[in-house]
Amino acid sequence: MAVAEPSPPAAAAAAAGQTHAGRVDALERMLTRLALTEDSVASLLCRFLPYTTISLVSPGASVRELLMENGSLFDKLVKQRPDISMMMDLWRIYTESTSTVVQNYCIVYVEMGFERLLSEDKAIIAPDLLINISNVPEQHQGIILRLVLKAIGEWDTHKVDQTVASKYKSISASNDGLVFADFCLHMILYQTPPQGIRCSAGLSVAQSDRVTGNLPLKGDTLASRKLGILDVIETMQFKLEIVYPLYLAAASDSQEAVAKRGEEMLILKASAVNLEDSDLIKRLFTLFNGTASSENIASELEVAPAHSSLRVRLMGVFCRSIAAANAFTHTFQCIFGCIYGNGTTSRLKQLGMEFTVWVFKHATNKQLKAISPFILSGILHSLDGSSTTEADSSSRDIRIFAYQAIGLLAFRMPNLFCNKTGMAIRLFTALRLEEQSLRSIIQEAATALATAYKGASNIVLKDFEALLLEYCQAEQSEVRFSAVRWAVTLYNMKHCPSRYICMLGASDVKLDIREMALAGLNLLNDERQSSTMATDISYPDIAEMVNYIYSQQPQLLHCYEQRNGKLLFPTDTFLAMIKFLMKCFNTHDGSDFLQEDLSNSTLAKMCVLLEHAMSYDGSSELHTLALKSLVDISSRQPKMVSSFYVNRLDWPRTLLHADTHEEAPRLLGYGRQCQNTTDINEELGSCCNGRTNHSLEHEVCGGGNNSDNLGGDGCDEELVTGCHHRHGRIDHNLEFLIDRMMSWSVRDILKAPPVIKKERQTGKKLGTGVRRDGLWYLDRKETSEDVCLALMASTSKEEAKVLLLHCRLGHISFETMSKMFPAELSRVDKHKLVCDACEYGKHTRTSYVSRGLRSMLPFMLIHSDVWTSPMVSMSGMKYFVTF
């Protein structure tokens, strides 16, 4: 008798409503039919399996025992008949049942049945398997997710309709979508491990087994699944922060097709990702660092760090995220993993240093305070472990970022450095020994470090005095620059050793060093010197400053013997020193000068220093400044200066420079206050009668305070007449003589006499000059007619007319004038036309304002010195243009 065969859903419903005895009887009949039937086994199993699965929840022990005894028979029959398909019926039972036994029983046959479906059917069913996947037991999650990825690996996006795509998209915003995205990331990270290695980089052993199902994936199968994942993920339109790690991993994949597709996705999507998302940054750090060894977890759950190519990409992300800079302790682990971690590379070391710079720049003070001592120790260890002679670009970049990090840390955390001089010595030593390409970076770090020492103790600052004095005279310009910078930054204007360093820097060959040194002395007199800097400045005590200079240059004590020798300081140093000392002198009240011993007084030492500045090797500018300074000192302390110089007035007579002819007589005047009128007149007479060769000012100009000695009968007319007949040097200074003597109330003696010009060899009178409004004019009435004609004939009337037109027309060329005025130009020889203004104008070099610009690129500063000027200037020089 035949038994009716219910459909699978009907059988399942019937099983749920049967009694225990009825269920046992039904199962026995089914088992009997399976044993006696050959042809209809497939159709019978499709009906029996749902029924038997539901029967597993029966409270009767006999039912469960009967199913367990015959379970192996069902498995054998199913495996032998690949045409058996019961996929969706069992999946429906799986999702509706809450029994663990039923779910375990169903999942086995679901996995078997899914493999037997066509690729198109798999693609349609796969998104349904993801529904409620987040609530499925973890073991079952792995099985179901692997089934979905198998379908995705076979999925051709050009053949599947939008219905399937919409199914995937519908779960993207749910927890199911997060579980799926996380599993896809693990699949992208998976690489076929070498023999003996249980898991891939970036995964734990458990994660690797979950992805593969204990069956390693290789070659095209692995590539097709990864490419399918990228297509599905794009279709699902996740938030970028969720899938960004997946795109990074794909772009770093070892398989070229996957890496190319991942790179394309990064280019399209990465610009919109929020790198300040803390959850995203933590996931990326976990991917980079792996599981911390301090965490108490099972070994199979420990996540290994990602492979090096992915870590390089991750470092590029960290160096653009402020959230990454503040993700303690991940930041600390990342930096040390790059520098000292197992399997690190030179590229990772470089990026680790770069990230260190980023952290020091953007981390909060709280985090920086916690990690900076340890990171600084690692940086110094890294610098000590590398050679300064390493030529590869990666090693050089590592050192660059290391020094940048030190500079930033000095700016953010000065307390790490201000109690010791070790870091300063290290950077100055590096400026000496490192290659040229690194020195600018080290120089910036040293400048930043100087601010860290501003709050240092007096003991530390005292130690720096000798160091900076040594460094400011080093061979390398970067060392000198940093030394002067430190001297200006660390100490105030009243600090004598630092101002002495600035004086030495004022003569440096580098413009930027000179300008900084002059600024430190408040001598940079241009628009860059702020107005506030020029006021409310406390200069050092003049005695302390002078004594410190003498302590650094003891040869100044023997200045009398050195006066005719070489300068003890460079000219520019002397100029800056004198100007600064005069500022100190002018701010000093001078009350204590009178109480000092004249032979060893501050004033005497300063005068001796100024005397040495007028040594033979000194420039005219230096001589002038030194003399002016001596005169200024004399005007404030005339008695002391007069007593000091009364017996030593011969040395200024050797100063014949044009710039010093006004100041030397003033100094002589102050020095002669202790002399009587007879001695002064005798000296003046000897000067005018030719017994000496020095300037007339030296003899006549006795200083404003001694004018009484030259008034009235004390200065006779023979003196003035002799002066009138002098030539050469006396004539050059005659106007000065007349001005000075007329200002000394001797108008009744001089009476503005005419100047008689005579020929030097014959003594023949040439003409008479008359003084009007400070100028001397040739008096035609008192001058020979022949002389006047000779002077007029030196330029013809026609030439004078042409030259007048030339001037009125703005000094245009004579060639152009010949076209404008052909008649006038035809009467003169153009080769004889000489315009002094044009000649001098073409040979005048304009002084440009110094800007302190430095050439940073080749050929940034161009010189047109390929050939020299073919013409020689009126002063006998050749010029070339710099632009």
Average pLDDT over residues 506-527: 85
Predicted confidence (pLDDT) at residue 701 exceeds the cutoff of 90: no
Rg (CA), the chain: 50
More confident site: 744 or 319: 319
Backbone phi, psi, residue 863, to 5°? -115, 135
564 has pLDDT over 80: no
State yes or no: pLDDT of 519 exceeds 80.
yes
pLDDT in tens, 639-663: 776 666 666 656 555 554 445 555 5
The answer to whether residue 312 is domain-embedded is: no
**Torsion sign, CA atoms 487, 492, 498, 501:** positive
* Helix residue spans in 255-390 (DSSP H): 256-269, 278-289, 308-318, 322-325, 330-340, 346-362, 365-385
Among 16-30, 92-106, 386-400, 425-439, name the one with the lowest average pLDDT: 16-30
Is the model's pLDDT at 31 over the cut of 70?
no
How far apart, in whole angstroms, are the C-alpha atoms of residue 54 and residue 391?
Answer: 75
Task: Find the mean pLDDT for residues 674-695.
Answer: 50
Report the percent of the chain where pLDDT is more than 70. Answer: 63
Contacts of range 107-111, beta carbons closer than 8 Å, 24 or more positions apart? 107/140, 107/143, 107/144, 109/49, 109/78, 110/147, 111/143, 111/147
Domain that residue 830 falls in: 795-842
pLDDT confidence of residue 708: 40
Percent of the chain with pLDDT over 90: 20
Phi, psi angle pair for 662, to nearest 5°: -95, -35
**Pick from 453, 562, 557: which is nearest to 498 by CA?**
453
pLDDT at 484: 94
Host H or E run for residue 756: strand 755-758
495 domain residue, yes or no? no
Q: Is the pLDDT of residue 716 over 50?
A: no
Q: What confidence tens digit (pLDDT) does each residue in 791-821 have?
A: 555 556 788 888 888 888 888 888 888 888 8
The residue among 298, 305, 312, 360 whose CA lies nearest residue 333 is 305
Examine the pLDDT at 149 and tell me if it is beyond 50.
Answer: yes
Q: Which residues are CB-contacts of 453 (< 8 A; sequence separation ≥ 6)? A: 414, 417, 418, 424, 460, 461, 464, 486, 490
Q: What's the rounded Cα separation, in Å, for the pair 31 and 25?
A: 10
Q: pLDDT digits over 590-647, tens only?
A: 666 655 566 677 888 888 888 888 887 788 888 888 888 888 887 777 777 666 666 6
Is residue 811, in this structure, part of any structural domain at all? yes
Specify which of 476-485, 600-609, 741-750 reaches the highest per-range mean pLDDT.
Answer: 476-485
Alpha helices in 614-708 (DSSP H): 620-636, 638-645, 663-671, 677-688, 696-700
pLDDT digits (tens, 9 = 90+) for 39-51: 565 666 666 666 6
> What is the DSSP track for 363-391?
S-HHHHHHHHHHHHHHHHHHHHHS-TT--
The residue ranking higher by pLDDT, 17 or 557, is 557
Band (757; pLDDT cuts 50, 70, 90): low
User: In this structure, is residue 690 part of a structural domain?
Assistant: no
The model's pLDDT over 51-63, given as tens digits with 9 standing for 90+, comes to 666 666 665 566 6
Mean pLDDT over residues 236-259, rounded? 92
Tell me what pLDDT residue 428 has.
92
pTM above 0.75, yes or no: no
Residue 535 pLDDT exceeds 80: no
**Of 340, 287, 341, which Cα lies nearest the Cα of 313?**
287
What is the Cα–Cα distance from 609 to 545, expressed in whole angstroms?
A: 12
Q: What pLDDT does 838 receive?
A: 83
For the chain, what is the domain count?
A: 1
Query: Does any domain span residue 125?
Result: no
Has residue 386 been placed in a domain?
A: no
- Residue of 846 and 169 predicted with greater confidence: 169
Mean residue pLDDT across the chain: 75
Q: Is residue 813 part of a domain?
A: yes
Torsions phi, psi of 673, nearest 5? Answer: -60, -25
Least confident piece of the model among 401-415, 490-504, 732-746 = 732-746
* Contact present, 755 and 786 (Cβ < 8 Å): no
Q: Which residues contact 788 (CB under 8 A, 6 or more apart)?
A: 778, 780
CA distance 432 to 477: 9
- Mean pLDDT lowest among 36-45, 408-417, 428-437, 686-695: 686-695
One-character DSSP codes across 608-637: HHHHHHTSTTS-HHHHHHHHHHHHHHHHHS
Q: Which of 13-17, 208-212, 226-230, 306-310 has the lowest mean pLDDT?
A: 13-17
pLDDT band at 836 (very low <50, low <70, confident <90, very high): confident
The SS3 of residue 882 is strand
Residue 818 lies in a domain: yes
652 dihedral zone (left: phi>0; alpha: psi -120 to 50; beta) = alpha
| Residue 813: per-residue pLDDT | 86
How many residues in the chain? 883
